[in-house]
A and B are shown apart, each in its own frame.
Chain A
Amino acid sequence: MSSRRRIAFVFGSNGPADPAIEPLRFALDDVRRVARALRSRRCGFDVIVPRDDATVDEALHQLGEAADSCDAGDDFVFYFSGHGILSRGSLVLLWHHTQWATRPSNTAIPISRIMAILDFCKASNKILILDCCHAGAAASALGLKSGRGVALQDAGVTANHLVLMASDRLESARELSSLGGSFMTTKLCHALTRPVEKVDLDDDGAISVQDLATWLARQASEYNRTYRADVPVPYLAGQLRGQFFFTQTTSWPAWKINLPNGTATLLPIGRRITTSHPFDRVTTVTAIFDNLVTNAEYSRFCSDKVSQPVGLDFVEGRWSGPFRPWDDPRFNDPSQPVVCISARACLRSRFIAIR
């Protein structure tokens, strides 16, 4: 059985050399940034980016090859940043070589062509990310008049197609000099490259598409409120069966702390570890000792470098704190087992953490 693959096709265009069309400044930068974010170890996608001078046919051929290479269980992401135009009510993406007045059919990219290619893609998870104007018209290609406000499970589609859109059908997406890129793409890259807990709204240790969509919508609302701006609020449409994670879920890496008479294995409470160093993100873990360690032994071992441990207490079905066991007569007798240790303090005391 082949392992699960994650493939992303990332492309965009600042637009054609048409004097009537204001060229975009950051669409190609958007492409580079998204490609870098998706390629990162955190996301783990194999990213395909067409050549800058590729024709529409070449780019779509490459998209088709990438989509066809997917199998069931794989993840496939399609991303576009650039000009979008409504033609006869349908979304059309503009490319570098688009000659709208004379050769639109061979030089522009109707979203229906993208959808047709993705229809054949066997990946279990397929998501289109459209950072362009009128992106919501892509919802029509999924059988929806407009995606905004349509519950994911109500979308009448047969595959796990999702579309993350920078704008609704009649809205204009924006790129901002202050951000050096398109609004949604800039925030998307922030989400995928910055500390996970800001975006991981459900605390499951990874960024799902729903986490991302919700966070992006909040970012847009906050930006508009702060700057009295009118960037469109990104939204998600389509059908979601199960979860689709942009970041790779990481399993607990079996961190252990060596103690005087054995080891303590650390297990997370709440947020999972998602970085190479577990204590960058987790302040509270469960420690399972393979031998009893008394308060006296722990205190002696840590010497004066360690302040008293602080943890959480499980009260009425939830963890709450701070809990200072050495201030509590039920737990502070030197002969009693230590009920709480400080992982950070252990590291500071040069306890050896091993995988």
Chain B
Amino acid sequence: MGNELELTYVLLSRDVSELLADNHSDLATLMTQQDPPVACRPCSDPAFSAQGSKDLSAVLVSAAVLAAGLTPLLLRLIGRLTSRPVLVTELVLVPVEDSSGVVVQDADSQPVLYWAERVRFVEPSSDAGPFSVSVQALGVRIDLGNPDNV
């Protein structure tokens, strides 16, 4: 897959998944129908794959899209299907650490990972930023807000 930080995971809430399914669509299809098409594909959520989930509802997008504005694109694509507000949360995939800072591993000696919310998106870069060691991947989560807040 190459460098994970060249890719961004898009995670869908149940509401968004249901919205797409009810409209006989899915995020990968919507993105590849853009002009120009956005390269993406379904994938396992790396934070859950070690738990035996058979789910492939996450979507992997080239991080190059970020520069062109992944968040506005997602807002537009999902927003076309609903009157509810679309919420996009930026995430980083980081390992779970115990109280002494040691990375927790699963039964297969793989690090246990989780998605942590970030207020501000951390761009992958070559210089050693605060997450350069521990960040495993970048992601965004799409959810639908309360319709009363429209």
Contact = CB atoms under 8 A, between A and B. Distances in A.
Interface stretch (A50-58, A77-85, A187-195, A238-246): A77-85
Contacts of B28: 87
A60 interface: no
A177 B107 contact: yes
A87 B27 CA distance: 9
Interface string B32-60: 00000000011110101101111111001
A174 B54 contact: yes
Given A89-B22, A174-B53, 11 more contacts: A20-B44, A20-B60, A21-B44, A25-B52, A84-B56, A134-B55, A169-B21, A170-B14, A173-B53, A174-B54, A177-B107
A172 interface: yes
A254 B56 CA distance: 54
A200 to B, nearest CB: 30
B136 to A, nearest CB: 14
20 contacts: A20-B42, A20-B43, A20-B44, A20-B60, A21-B42, A21-B43, A21-B44, A25-B52, A82-B54, A85-B42, A86-B21, A87-B28, A88-B26, A89-B21, A89-B26, A133-B55, A134-B55, A170-B14, A170-B18, A177-B52
Contact of B54 (A20, A24, A86, A100): A24
A100 B41 contact: yes
Contacts of B109: none
Interface of B: 1, 14, 17-18, 20-26, 28-29, 41-44, 46, 48-49, 51-57, 60, 107
A199 to B, nearest CB: 24
Contacts of A89: 20-26
Interface string A71-108: 00000000000111111111000100000110000000
Interface residues of A, number: 32
B144 to A, nearest CB: 13
A236 interface: no
Nearest to B39: A101
A352 interface: no
A101 B17 contact: no
A169 B41 CA distance: 20
Contacts of A172: 48, 53-55, 57
Nearest to A102: B41
A174 B21 contact: no
Contacts of B29: 87-88
Contacts of B23: 89
Contacts of A101: 41
Interface string A126-161: 000000111001000000000000000000000000
Nearest to B58: A20
